[in-house]
Amino acid sequence: MGTLFSRRAVLAGLTSGAALSTLPINHAFAALDDKPFYFLTPDEARFLAALCDTLIPEDDFPSASQAGVVDFIDLQLAGPYGKGQFIYMQPPFPSGTPEQGYQVSLIPATFIRQGIAALMEAETGFVDADTEARSSVLTRLSEDDFDLGDLPAKPLFDELWTLTNQGYFADPIYGGNEGYAGWEMVGFPGAHAYYLSFVDKHNVPYPQPPTGINHEPGGDGRIPSGLKPQEV
């Protein structure tokens, strides 16, 4: 049987890198520390933490990894999205346009896993690089100016950018938006049932903290996943 890698063990070993070296003990995977990853390997998770923190760095609000985005991506890749259950995946695969949606012949989990592997091979120092160097790599990727062999560069960037945004701003029940960081950033009050007292008020901040669908006082809005942990 393979080793089950916990989230705490993964980021505990990060001692360098401009953004990652300053992460507090309550790090990216704090809410799921007692559980292993469901899809990602530790190296993939470290790489994604560096990549996502370059896209959404820490400022007045938590960085992407601090807000649980890597957890979100892990769960998405292990679930229906990663398996391509809602994507037509039958050949032939003629060239499409960005407006037509997902155009890769691989299911998302395979595409992203192979993409991460190709990026880690091409940019061996990415995790430990400073923000400027990591941003340069992602800019090239976004502009389709990156050789990933048979894998398309810009579609890979687009999928990772979309997942990062979704993980930062989606309801916490999906594994990201730790502590409602994304909702606090944009001033979204969350899944309250009624706003009757504010229906006629405009440009007035809602006076309650954000709450998600599964919110409990003192909780983070997350629910346990029914997925089985990935053995690696």
pLDDT tens, 122-177?
999 999 999 999 999 999 999 999 999 999 999 999 999 999 999 999 999 888 99
E strand or H helix at 45: helix 42-55
Confidence band, pLDDT 50/70/90 cuts, at residue 35: low
- pLDDT for residue 129: 94
Confidence band, pLDDT 50/70/90 cuts, at residue 183: very high
Confidence band, pLDDT 50/70/90 cuts, at residue 30: very low
The closest of 210, 230, 229 to 220, measured between CA atoms, is 210
Burial of 184 (0-12, 13-18, 19+ CB in 10 A): middle
- pLDDT for residue 21: 34
Residue type, 214: N
- pTM of the full structure: 0.77
Tell me which of 6 and 85 has the higher pLDDT: 85
Distance from C-alpha of 38 to C-alpha of 176, rounded to nearest angstrom? 14
Q: Could you give the 3-state DSSP secondary structure of residue 148?
A: strand
The structural domains of the chain, with segments of one domain joined by +, span 7-198
Specify the DSSP class assigned to residue 52: H
Specify the DSSP class assigned to residue 151: B
Is the pLDDT reported for residue 219 higher than 70? no
